[in-house]
């Protein structure tokens, strides 16, 4: 009985820690993004090399850097279409090994998705980003909601992957992770990624959304 009570206390404490970190993340995003929006509104033209808007040093990639085609996806882990398209994107990569590099960028448009992508970014420190992303997509119905997400359910999903959750909690406190997410948000805004998923193939936006249209755009770049 005592062990059961102790386990419940530990779980409650960890839940409170997660909630506290999530609150801190929310405060950071609110202050940081509001400031950056006001600063960016003063600038009409891009003041940096536009190529970095597609890929940053921190960006997660699949495929070689010298691939003929760079496929950039701005995604939200709570986006239903993103989760539906993910297997097709994997299939495209599998059929075109060494020819395509996928670059994954954050566009947390849903409420609370900013907290989710910070969690995902933290999993990179355990080399578990892709596994965590795919698990998030597969269990999306269990945690994602249009009016906010059940982050405790998502936490349970990540725990089931075998992640060191104590380390994940600690890593989520790193402000550098939030800066990475903020940078993705800003880059996506400059590129006009106002919906998810948004795709760019060798810098060209997918003008008319659709799987076949995406395949055609990729093929046209490969044929050059």
**Region 191-197: what's the mean pLDDT?**
95
pLDDT category, 50, cuts 50, 70, 90?
Answer: confident
pLDDT given at position 135: 98
What does pTM read for this prediction? 0.83
Query: Where does the pLDDT of residue 146 fall: very low under 50, low under 70, confident under 90, or very high at 90 and above?
Result: confident
Predicted local distance difference test score (pLDDT) of residue 11: 52
Gyration radius from the chain CA atoms: 19
**In this structure, what DSSP letter does residue 73 have?**
E
Amino acid 49: pLDDT: 67
pLDDT > 70: percent of the chain: 78
The token duo for 82 is: 């993103």
pLDDT tens readout for residues 62-113: 999 999 999 999 999 999 999 999 999 999 999 999 999 999 999 999 999 9
Q: Please, what is the average pLDDT of the chain?
A: 86
Residue ranges making up the domain that contains 72: 2-222
User: What are phi and psi for residue 87, nearest 5 degrees?
Assistant: -60, -35
Per-residue pLDDT tens over the stretch 112-142? 999 999 999 999 999 999 999 999 999 999 9
Indicate the pLDDT class of residue 16, thresholds 50, 70 and 90: low
Structural domain total, the chain: 1
| Distance from chain centroid for Cα 120 | 7
41 or 97: which leads in pLDDT: 97
Q: Does 187 or 22 have the greater pLDDT score?
A: 187
Q: Give the model's confidence band at 147: pLDDT under 50 very low, under 70 low, under 90 confident, else very high.
A: confident
Calculate mean pLDDT across residues 42-65. 78
According to the model, what pLDDT value does residue 37 have? 46
What pairs with residue 69 in β-bridges? 100
Both tokens of residue 44? 């009409």
- Cα 66 from chain centroid (whole Å): 23
Give how far the C-alpha of residue 46 lies from the chain's centroid of Cα atoms, to the nearest Å. 24
Q: Which of 2-16, 29-43, 86-100 has the lowest mean pLDDT?
A: 29-43
Task: State the CATH number of the domain containing residue 31.
Answer: 3.40.30.10
């Amino acid at each position: 009985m005592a062990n059961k009570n102790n386990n419940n206390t530990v779980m409650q404490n960890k839940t409170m820690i997660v909630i506290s970190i999530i609150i801190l993340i929310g405060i950071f995003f609110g202050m940081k993004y509001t400031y950056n929006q006001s600063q960016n509104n003063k600038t009409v033209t891009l003041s940096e090399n536009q190529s970095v808007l597609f890929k940053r040093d921190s960006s997660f990639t699949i495929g070689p850097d010298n691939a003929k085609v760079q496929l950039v996806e701005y995604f939200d882990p709570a986006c239903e279409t993103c989760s539906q398209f993910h297997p097709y994107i994997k299939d495209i990569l599998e059929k075109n090994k060494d020819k395509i590099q996928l670059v994954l960028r954050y566009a947390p448009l849903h409420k609370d998705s900013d907290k989710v992508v910070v969690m995902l970014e933290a999993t990179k420190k355990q080399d578990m980003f892709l596994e965590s992303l795919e698990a998030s997509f597969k269990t999306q119905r269990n945690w994602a909601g249009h009016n906010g997400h059940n982050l405790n359910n998502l936490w349970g999903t990540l725990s089931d992957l075998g992640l060191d959750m104590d380390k994940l909690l600690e890593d989520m406190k790193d402000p550098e992770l939030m800066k990475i997410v903020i940078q993705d948000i800003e880059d996506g805004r400059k590129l006009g990624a106002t919906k998810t998923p948004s795709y760019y193939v060798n810098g060209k936006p997918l003008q008319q959304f659709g799987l076949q249209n995406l395949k055609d755009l990729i093929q046209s770049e490969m044929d050059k």
